[in-house]
Structure 1
């Protein structure tokens, strides 16, 4: 089946966070938005058809998960990721992955407890640590052999100093690293030695090319599974962000009951009726579309790297192994932090996620979303090239 990823579909006027909030966030409506991590592609036809069928029923009352939902989740994790999860280990958080992690963080730690995060990282992860009154412990990623990886010496040293929990994004947001089994097992062993609970955000796990297979935390061993929370969602891989669904794997039965109790107390256990149908269709019938989308974005990555190398050498793309995001090193522009953000928005007319939002290590970087038609990427690159040429003088 041929899927059209080249045609631009105008999302303006649809209450799109990505396209209709630019004036609010960036002070101008004419920027090209490449910041929010959703796709400018139409969803998989099977997903669209499933939502349409449900919409034709004229009553939109409360929804519940039934066995086809569980079967779709478990089937997908086994087929796509080699993880045979037990149904009784599943929990759900309709608001999404970040809400699920925030709830569990408050269950397993107390105010003042130390929580470690590899940096740079997705800002809501370390934001939830700070907002909940926990103590953020940063461990830096290091550049080694052409890619970012963990500093295991630093990790071990800090882990031994009373850290209670580790928060990890896998694949990594913003750098696009797809961690290897060896890296993850070494990280997990450090946490196990120091009795650190592991909370893993795998929301981007479906969007990885075959040459960089994702290793889900759930396959590292029973010892790891018992001391971890793993969060999945169809939101990134299938562009369902507006439907707010998250699957949580918690093998610890006592902790899972406490987590479910929090969901019940907050009245957040009932799923979006359209999200239910969308997830089932995505996992059961959307794999061909997903593979095609990954191939298209992979070519966008190659195109971006080529254009930067040949026409805008001041900006360097960090190799992105997975996700539809890329981490761009803009250090050669001589700008950092808010100055770099101002240059991109006001001079180039392109809105990226500013690197400083991911921590101090991101001051000279921006994060770009490449899940867009190539014509949008090319227009953004033309604008950036003009702005950089003007800066060169």
Structure 2
């Protein structure tokens, strides 16, 4: 049964160095009191089991060098088996402070400067920045907006692979368009990558935030051959709202890939995780499932609230049907505004802050991304601010 009261707690996150709540004016370049509905973290406390485990460690009072014990790997193996029907070995797991740093490690370990790396826009902005900052070249095969959902242009995808691409960054589930790629789509992408000897780096950080009736399938679980060509990136950060604790996992059955990533770690002097990140990761994967099921039901209620509000008050806007995540991809093109004017409309008139669609690359024009991992009252307030801005 859903714990409504738990997710309805209005927790003031100011004075905690919250990027979402305390960097809003800086990010949106305004002095207005903007309601933040942008960066992808939640306004909810994590499972009590995680808090209890952290408090127990704090009470011990000594925070020296800490290694990552076998029990953490056991927790990850068990979670992948139970939640995603994916059998992995504990020695396939490596650790990193986050998925974005892991993308950087994979790029540095497995490609060379000047190599082409494939993305599918509109997509999470670090997919572009990590390629460019590592002196590689972005190759883009944009997704196709089929109005109610996005689809893969497989002709463009294959042409890009044959254009000298060395690595494919897969966003699965996709951020921001909220697609949970189906087995036939995953298999076709993977087979094309195998045919063209392209390494797959699959960002599956949102894989636990799946909305019914969709089902997440790890791309590496499709076959041994695909697994050997794939690096999968996961973390408890989005699932359990633990981003500030900076802990994630890199999973690959390919021993050569793992050895090359270890070399990058050695070159950078990385050998473990934050002590609290280790504890939180293990506790979340061992004891967080009931909390997660409650969270998903609450998020589904928030999404239903947005749909109903749009239908009644803002028919000018349409919502790409979300299949995963708490991030909604909102089509504002009927307003017939430039992206600059659209963003200023929401910031200046509505005093509500979204991620502008253009930050996600080609195909993001005319869209905004809205974070609904917050109380129902906050969602309604954000919607009312949107209404005020548009009706003005």
TM class by smaller structure? over 0.9
> What residue in structure 2 maps to residue 58 of structure 1?
61
Q: Distance in 1 between matches of 2:355 and 2:291?
A: 27
Residue 201 (structure 2) pairs with residue 199 (structure 1): yes
> What residue in structure 1 maps to residue 102 of structure 2?
100
> What residue in structure 2 maps to residue 327 of structure 1?
329
> What residue in structure 1 maps to residue 152 of structure 2?
150
> What residue in structure 1 maps to residue 76 of structure 2?
73
* 1:265 positional shift: 2.5
> What residue in structure 2 maps to residue 46 of structure 1?
49
Mark the CA change 1:70 to 1:29 in structure 2 (over 3 Å): closer, same or farther. farther
2:266 to 264, 267, 285: 264
* 1:315 positional shift: 1.3
* 1:270 positional shift: 1.4
Q: How many pairs align?
A: 389
* 1:133 positional shift: 1.8
> What residue in structure 2 maps to residue 137 of structure 1?
139
Q: Distance in 2 between matches of 1:123 and 1:386?
A: 29
Residue 296 (structure 2) pairs with residue 294 (structure 1): yes
Q: Distance in 2 between matches of 1:230 and 1:28?
A: 41
Q: Distance in 2 between matches of 1:297 and 1:210?
A: 11
Greater Cα offset, 347-356 or 19-28: 19-28
3-state secondary structure, aligned to 1:328: strand
* CA offsets 1:91-140 (integer angstroms, 9 cap, x no match): 111x2111111111122222221111111100001111122221111101
Q: Distance in 1 between matches of 2:338 and 2:133?
A: 26
3-state secondary structure, aligned to 1:128: helix
Contact 1:175/1:318 (8 A) holds in 2: yes
Greater Cα offset, 131-140 or 163-172: 131-140
1:266-281 alignment runs, 5 A limit: 266-281=268-283
Contact 2:106/2:261 (8 A) holds in 1: yes
Q: Distance in 2 between matches of 1:271 and 1:29?
A: 38
Q: Distance in 2 between matches of 1:386 and 1:110?
A: 50
Contact 1:336/1:365 (8 A) holds in 2: no
> What residue in structure 1 maps to residue 285 of structure 2?
283
Greater Cα offset, 380-389 or 339-348: 339-348
3-state secondary structure, aligned to 2:145: strand
* 1:145 positional shift: 7.4
1:130-279 alignment runs, 5 A limit: 130-144=132-146, 146-279=148-281
* 1:28 positional shift: 2.9
1:90 to 68, 90, 93: 93
Greater Cα offset, 359-368 or 255-264: 255-264
Q: Distance in 1 between matches of 2:150 and 2:341?
A: 25
* 1:325 positional shift: 0.6
3-state secondary structure, aligned to 2:302: helix
Mark the CA change 1:146 to 1:22 in structure 2 (over 3 Å): closer, same or farther. closer
Q: Distance in 2 between matches of 1:305 and 1:200?
A: 30
Contact 2:35/2:351 (8 A) holds in 1: yes
1:19-34 alignment runs, 5 A limit: 19-26=21-28, 27-28=30-31, 30-34=33-37
Mark the CA change 1:2 to 1:291 in structure 2 (over 3 Å): closer, same or farther. closer
Contact 1:125/1:167 (8 A) holds in 2: yes
* CA offsets 1:193-248 (integer angstroms, 9 cap, x no match): 11111111000111113411111122111111111110010000011000111100
> What residue in structure 2 maps to residue 337 of structure 1?
339
3-state secondary structure, aligned to 1:366: strand
**What stretches of structure 2 of length at least 5 have no aligned partner?**
none
Contact 1:22/1:28 (8 A) holds in 2: no
Contact 1:171/1:322 (8 A) holds in 2: yes
TM-score, length-scaled by structure 1: 0.96
Contact 1:44/1:289 (8 A) holds in 2: yes
